[in-house]
Chains A and B, each alone.
Chain A
Amino acid sequence: MSGAMNLLLLVLASSMGLCFVRLLRGPSLPDRVVALDQIGVHVAAMAILYSIAQGRVVFLDAAVVASLLSFLATVAFARYLEQGAEL
C-alpha cells in the first residue's frame, strides 16, 4: 500500500512540475494565476495521498486547509486583476 502511494506521489510531483513550467512561462498574468491555483490543488492531493500512505487521518485536515487557501488566493488574485488595487 505504502509503495503504491509513494509511486503515485512521485507521479503527482512531476505533474506539479508541469504546472510550474506554466507558472514560469505563462504569457499573461492570468495564466500564472491558473498555474498557481493548480499547484495549490496538487498540494491538497499530495496531503491526501500522504495520509493514505502513512495511515493517519489527521493529514486530511492539511488538505482542507490547502484547498481553502488556494481558493481564497485565486479569488483575491482575480479581483485584483479585474479591478486593480482599489477594492
Chain B
Amino acid sequence: MSAKEWLTVIAAGAGVFFMVVAAVGLNRMPDFYTRMHGATKSTTLGISFILLGSALHFGTPFAITKAVLVVVFFFLTAPVAAHALARAAYFRAVPTCPSTALDELKGHYRPETHELEGEVKLHCCAGTAAAEVLSAGEHNSAPANASGETGGAVEG
C-alpha cells in the first residue's frame, strides 16, 4: 500500500475508534445527560475523521468539497440537536444520576411558558476569569431582560 492509502486507513480507523467510543459511552454513562454529552461530541469528531479519510482517498475537488460540506453540516447541527434534546429532557424532569452535586437551572424555568426567569448563578467556575466574564455579561444584559419579562407579564 502506498503512503496515501496508509493515511486513508489511519484517518478512517481513527474515525471508527471515536464512533466506538461514542457507542460505549452511550451504554456506560450513568444518566441521560452524561450519555448525550459523551455520544454527541465524539460522534462529530469520528465522522470528521472518516470524511478526512474519504477526502484523502478520492482527492478530487468534488469529493473534497462534499466532505467539507458534510463536516460543516455536522459541526452546525450536532450541537443544535443535542441542545434541543437536553432541553426537552430537562422539562420532562429526566432524573440525573445520584452523585449529581448541583443543578444551577433549578427553579429558574417557568413551567408553563418554558422561559428563563431570575439570574442564574454559576457556581462551577467561581473566582476564575470565566466567572468574571460571565457575570459582567449578565449585568450588561440583565436590565433589558428584566424589562422585557415584566412587559410580557403585563401584556399576558
Contact = CB atoms under 8 A, between A and B. Distances in A.
Contacts of A57: 58, 60, 62-63, 66
Contacts of B51: 48
> Which of the listed residues A44, A55, A67, A78 has the most CB atoms from chain B within 10 Å of its own CB?
A78
Interface string B17-54: 00110111011000010011001100100110011011
Contacts of B73: 64, 67-68
Interface in B84-120: 84-85, 87-89, 91-92, 94, 114
Contacts of A74: 81, 84-85
Interface residues of B, number: 51
Interface stretch (B6-14, B125-133, B138-146, B147-155): B6-14
B80 interface: yes
Interface of B: 1, 5, 8-9, 12-13, 15-16, 19-20, 22-24, 26-27, 32, 35-36, 39-40, 43, 46-47, 50-51, 53-54, 57-58, 60, 62-63, 66-67, 69-70, 73-74, 77-78, 80-81, 84-85, 87-89, 91-92, 94, 114
